[in-house]
């Protein structure tokens, strides 16, 4: 039984009628490769109800690449990595944004679209990186390193973003670091909170990077030995890692990039066999798009991303909860850091 079905425990089962079977047939055809037929009657009534209700509410669902396949493929209006979802949040015309992702992503959407109603289907969908640092920690770093710009990963609270000069995601971090160093006329930046992302960025630029002691609890668990074991067990496998992995893990990979950069790599290179060293749902979602590629599936689950389920998305739209609010004074300062990031152009060879 897959993770999404297990997460339905306790949720009200909705009837699977012949009308729903007909209405969702095309969607099932799309995901048949990764969702067993026996599980579809559990998902389909929710998919149908969510897709009807989101139209009535003038809502869009922004689905991160780590969502389970029935959320990613069957109810999300836009999918992508953190940077792509932030861009969508900034330009959507919909009045309501349902964030099928974690809390910091919903806050970023609210910061970028303050007049919209932003909903998170489970407020406990946090992030170990966001929990590792506060605004006060950033102020202390500024005292310790006066004059140096602070580059903050988007995986942080609005409070932390508000204390920062610029934000970054894993798809633009090198370009952001180089641009902010140029603007400040310095050769060193402070980068918080992910020490591994910061160390991986430092290897790709001449700018010196002062790091902080945060880590993603999903990616820090991978080891270089894991990569060697995947290769030994699967001769010829292509290994793609996320830059939240420790540098000695990234060093063993064929390519490292954001979740969307990994998808781009699979699309451009069509490897016969690939392992995505990241969160578990990624392989299912990429396999829907590239059914001919074989995915080796060792992975780690993000317990926060997996809190988002179809029943919770439906409940969120029915009750218009839980609304994510950001203090306007904090939001204004956080928006300046996010907007500065969105203005940075990513050189073509460094994009996905």
Which CB sits closer to ligand SF4, 28 or 212? Answer: 212
Site for ligand SF4 in 110-139 (CB under 6 A): 127-129
How many residues at the interface with ligand SF4, by CB under 6 A?
A: 13
Structure tokens at 288: 């829907």
Does position 96 interact with ligand SF4 (CB under 6 A)? The reply is no
Does position 277 interact with ligand SF4 (CB under 6 A)? The reply is no
Which CB sits closer to ligand 13P, 216 or 274? Answer: 216
Does position 155 interact with ligand 13P (CB under 6 A)? The reply is yes
**Side-by-side strand order, sheet with 238-241:** 255-256, 238-241, 273-277, 294-296
Does position 322 interact with ligand 13P (CB under 6 A)? The reply is no
Report the alpha-carbon distance of residue 195 to residue 129 in Å, rounded: 10
- Cβ atoms 211, 258 nearer than 8 A: no
Report the alpha-carbon distance of residue 303 to residue 177 in Å, rounded: 30
282 interacts with, out of ligand SF4, ligand 13P, none, CB within 5 to 8 A per kind:
none
Does position 99 interact with ligand 13P (CB under 6 A)? The reply is no
**What's the CA angle centered on 280, arms 92 and 267, to 5 degrees?**
65
By residue count, the chain amounts to 352
Site string for ligand 13P, 26-65 (x = CB under 6 A): ---------------------------------------x
Does position 102 interact with ligand SF4 (CB under 6 A)? The reply is yes
Does position 197 interact with ligand SF4 (CB under 6 A)? The reply is no
Does position 164 interact with ligand 13P (CB under 6 A)? The reply is no
Report the alpha-carbon distance of residue 158 to residue 154 in Å, rounded: 9
65 interacts with, out of ligand SF4, ligand 13P, none, CB within 5 to 8 A per kind:
ligand 13P
Which residues face 277 on adjacent strands?
A: 241
Residue closest to 226 by CA, chosen among 284, 277, 164: 277
44 interacts with, out of ligand SF4, ligand 13P, none, CB within 5 to 8 A per kind:
none
Does position 191 interact with ligand SF4 (CB under 6 A)? The reply is no
Site string for ligand 13P, 268-307 (x = CB under 6 A): ----------------------------------------
Interface segment toward ligand 13P; rule CB under 6 A; list 32-40, 75-83, 195-203, 224-232: 75-83
Interface segment toward ligand 13P; rule CB under 6 A; list 23-31, 34-42, 76-84, 200-208: 76-84
Can you tell me which of 302, 330, 338, 341 binds ligand SF4, judged by CB under 6 A? 302
- Long-range residue pairs from 329-335, CB within 8 A, at least 24 positions apart, any chain: 330/158, 330/159, 330/162, 331/110, 331/111, 331/114, 331/158, 331/162, 333/161, 333/162, 333/163, 334/107, 334/111, 334/158, 334/159, 334/161, 334/162, 334/164, 335/111, 335/112
- Kindly report the number of other CB atoms within 10 A of residue 207's CB atom: 19
The residue written with tokens 């204004």 in the block is 332
CB of 322 to ligand SF4, least distance (A): 18
Does position 305 interact with ligand SF4 (CB under 6 A)? The reply is yes
Which CB sits closer to ligand 13P, 35 or 261? Answer: 261
Report the alpha-carbon distance of residue 151 to residue 154 in Å, rounded: 9
Q: Which residues bind ligand SF4 (CB under 6 A)?
A: 102, 127-129, 155, 216-218, 244, 279, 302, 304-305
């Amino acid at each position: 039984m897959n993770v999404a079905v297990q997460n339905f425990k306790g949720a009200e089962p909705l009837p699977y009628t012949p009308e729903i079977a007909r209405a969702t047939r095309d969607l099932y055809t799309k995901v048949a490769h990764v969702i067993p037929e026996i599980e579809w009657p559990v998902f389909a009534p929710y998919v149908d109800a969510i897709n009807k209700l989101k139209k009535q509410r003038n809502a869009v669902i922004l689905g991160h690449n780590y969502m389970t396949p029935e959320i990613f493929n069957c109810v999300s209006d836009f999918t992508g990595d953190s940077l792509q979802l932030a861009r969508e949040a900034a330009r959507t015309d919909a009045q309501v944004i349902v964030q099928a992702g974690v809390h910091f992503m919903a806050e970023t959407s609210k910061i970028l679209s303050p007049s919209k109603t932003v909903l998170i289907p489970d407020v406990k969908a946090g992030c170990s990186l966001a929990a590792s640092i506060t605004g006060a920690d950033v102020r202390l770093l500024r005292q310790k390193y006066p004059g140096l710009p602070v580059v903050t990963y988007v995986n942080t609270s609005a409070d932390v973003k508000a204390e920062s000069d610029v934000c970054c995601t894993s798809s633009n971090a090198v370009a952001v670091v180089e641009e902010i160093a140029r603007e400040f006329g310095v050769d060193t930046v402070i980068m918080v909170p992910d020490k591994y992302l910061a160390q991986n960025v430092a290897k790709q630029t001449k700018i010196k990077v002062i790091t902080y002691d945060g880590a993603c609890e999903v990616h820090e668990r991978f080891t270089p030995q894991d990569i060697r074991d995947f290769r030994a067990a699967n001769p010829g496998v292509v290994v793609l890692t996320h830059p939240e992995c420790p540098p000695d893990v990234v060093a063993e990979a064929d390519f490292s990039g954001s979740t969307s950069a990994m998808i781009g790599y699979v699309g451009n290179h069509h490897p016969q066999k690939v392992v995505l060293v990241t969160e578990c749902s990624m392989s299912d979602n990429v396999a829907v798009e590239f059914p001919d590629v074989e995915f080796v599936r060792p992975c780690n689950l993000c317990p926060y991303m997996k809190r988002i389920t179809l029943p919770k998305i439906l409940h969120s739209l029915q009750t218009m909860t839980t609304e994510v609010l950001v203090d306007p004074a904090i939001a204004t300062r956080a928006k300046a850091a996010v907007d500065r990031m969105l203005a940075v152009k990513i050189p073509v060879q460094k994009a996905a």
